[in-house]
Structure formats: C-alpha cells, structure tokens
C-alpha cells in the first residue's frame, strides 16, 4: 500500500517533468519504496501544510508545493 500522493506532469517550452507530491505526517511515507529511494532533496517532494485562513472552511487545509522547470 502506498501513502496518499498526487502525480503531476508539467510541460514547459523546453523541459518536461513527471513527479509526485506527498503529504506530511503520513505514516506510510516512511514505508514507501519510491519515496525512500530518493537520495537528494527528498523533503522537496513533501508538501507544506499551512494553517487555514478565515476565507476557507474550518476543516480545510492549505497545501503548498512548488514545481520549478529550470529551463521553462
């Protein structure tokens, strides 16, 4: 079983990337073979959760995760 995650495919004018975003605090993150085999910048695959603001429903979560294509 894998932890909750989202797949992204992003295409720019030159570069294309396919990646996965994971959620912090998920118990299965520590057992996920794909995530555990990442050696460099593993933390960059795990989203940041911000406190909900007053303009969203109280049980909502704001998740931030950046995707950068170095050559667009």
Q: Is the four-CA dihedral 63, 69, 70, 72 of positive or negative sign?
A: negative
Instruction: Match 């979560």 to its residue by tokens.
Output: 61
- 17, two tokens: 């990337």
Can you give the pLDDT at residue 63? 94
pLDDT confidence band for 71 (50 / 70 / 90): confident
- Does 72 score more than 80 pLDDT? no
Mean pLDDT within 27-47: 94
Model's pTM, two decimal places?
0.83
- 34, two tokens: 């794909």
Q: What's the chain's average pLDDT?
A: 92
- 45, two tokens: 């695959």
**Rounded alpha-carbon distances, angstroms, from residue 11 to 7, 28, 41, 49, 68:** 13, 29, 21, 25, 11
């Amino acid at each position: 079983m894998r932890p909750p995650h989202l797949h992204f495919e992003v295409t720019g004018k030159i570069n294309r990337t396919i990646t996965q975003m994971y959620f912090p605090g998920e118990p299965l993150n520590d057992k996920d073979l794909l995530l555990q085999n990442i050696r460099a910048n593993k933390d960059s695959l795990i989203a940041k959760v911000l406190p909900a603001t007053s303009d969203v429903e109280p049980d909502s979560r704001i998740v931030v995760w950046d995707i950068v294509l170095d050559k667009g």
